[in-house]
Amino acid sequence: MQKRRLGTSSLEVSAIGLGCMGLSHAYGRPVDRKDGIALIRAAVDRGVTFFDTAEVYGPFTNEELVGEALAPVRDRVVIATKFGFVVDPKSEQRGLNSRPDHIREVAEACLKRLNTDRIDLFYQHRIDPQVPIEEVAGTVKDLIREGKVKHFGLSEAGADNIRRAHAVQPVAALQSEYSLWWREPETEVFPVLAELGIGFVPFSPLGRGFLTGAIDENTKIESSDFRAGLPRFSPEARKANQALVELIGRLADGKGITRAQLALAWVLARKPWIVPIPGTTKLHRLEENLGAVDVELNAADLREIDRALSEVTVQGARYPEHLRKLAAK
């Protein structure tokens, strides 16, 4: 497995990580615990060293799963988790909370659930408009001094907040959605990341599964699946967006690879400091995804993909209105 460094930080990880959320959260019924552990350990066996979780995934159960799975190889892997929400497991009501005392409480709870003595990468899950980002960064800086956290990250943050946070405590990585059908970070965020030496960790690099061709307008999405409430996954949007899937399919066929591999190879080719974290619950999909590191897209390939993408307009908002309000930049 190839390695990549997240920006100019000392954080070196496998070129593709594993997003663990879907094992416990968001995409319907959680996998059996032993199956989740087996998948994570299979990823380790195949060279993956970067694993992503969060307290809200489950909630809490995903961190416990990741911690148990990685305990035997703890010193060989990098574990990223997140703070920034209030989680009530009984009601699943959530609100933003990045007050310093809450960050500390979450850090201590994460350490216990992950069964570890340090958090390798601690992201603020979403910007909290009620707490200055300088206070957030300062709190994580203190946790780093205490040895409880190794690196500071932000998720879905905009350019201004990235700059302000980085001035207090260097930001090792920004995690945001990025893929062939969501390229917004390229415009304002990428230049800031390059300037400041910050790595980029795209979540949903396969468009929550849609870009693989496994989902179409006739696919039944269960009500317990997070995607059921996303405008981009309405039957009408899925029908309209099949043009993108077909385009990706033609490009992938020309390379003799799968749609998933093309989508991931494209992300990897954008910048050397990008490390995508596709998630899966299936071993064969894990192996397929990891195969993308061996796909080389040259400048001509990237120009052709850009030209082709310019002819397709993606339909449907990324999030419904009530979730967009949480995505303060």
Residue 78 falls within a domain, yes or no? yes
Q: What is the CATH number of the domain that holds 38?
A: 3.20.20.100
4 forms beta bridges with: 13
The pLDDT of residue 327 is 62
Task: Quickly state the pLDDT bin for 321 (edges 50, 70, 90).
Answer: confident
In this model, does residue 323 exceed pLDDT 90? no
**Comparing C-alpha atoms, which of 205, 207, 315, 314 is closest to residue 270?**
205
Query: For residue 124, what pLDDT band results from cuts at 50, 70 and 90?
Result: very high
pLDDT at 92: 55
Catalytic residues: 57
Kindly report, residue by residue over 90-109, the tens digit of the pLDDT. 655 568 999 999 999 999 99
Domain residues for the domain of 27 are: 3-212+270-295
Count of helix runs (H) and strand runs (E) in the chain: 11, 11
> 104, 31, 89, 41: which is closest to 67 by C-alpha?
41
- % of the chain beyond a pLDDT of 90: 92
Mean pLDDT score of the chain, rounded to an integer? 95
Q: Does a structural domain hold residue 179?
A: yes
* Own/partner long-range contacts of 165-168 (Cβ < 8 Å, ≥24 apart): 165/133, 165/134, 165/136, 165/137, 166/137, 166/196, 166/198, 167/134, 167/137, 168/133, 168/134, 168/137, 168/138, 168/141
Is there a domain that residue 44 lies in?
A: yes
Q: Is residue 301 part of a domain?
A: no
- pLDDT > 70: what percent of the chain? 97
Element (H, E) at 106: helix 100-113
pLDDT, tens digit, for every residue of 29-70?
999 999 999 999 999 999 999 999 999 999 999 999 999 999
Q: Tell me: the pLDDT tens digits for 126-182?
A: 999 999 999 999 999 999 999 999 999 999 999 999 999 999 999 999 999 999 999
Query: How far apart are alpha carbons 171 and 162 in whole angstroms?
Result: 8
Q: Tell me the per-residue pLDDT of 207-263, one tens digit each, with 9 for 90 and over.
A: 999 999 999 999 999 999 999 999 999 999 999 999 999 999 999 999 999 999 999
The verdict on residue 252 lying in a domain is no
Domain count, the chain: 1
With residues binned 3-state (H G I as helix, E B as strand, rest as coil), the percentages for the chain, rounded to 5, are: 45, 15, 35
Does residue 323 sit within a domain?
no
Is residue 324 domain-resident?
no
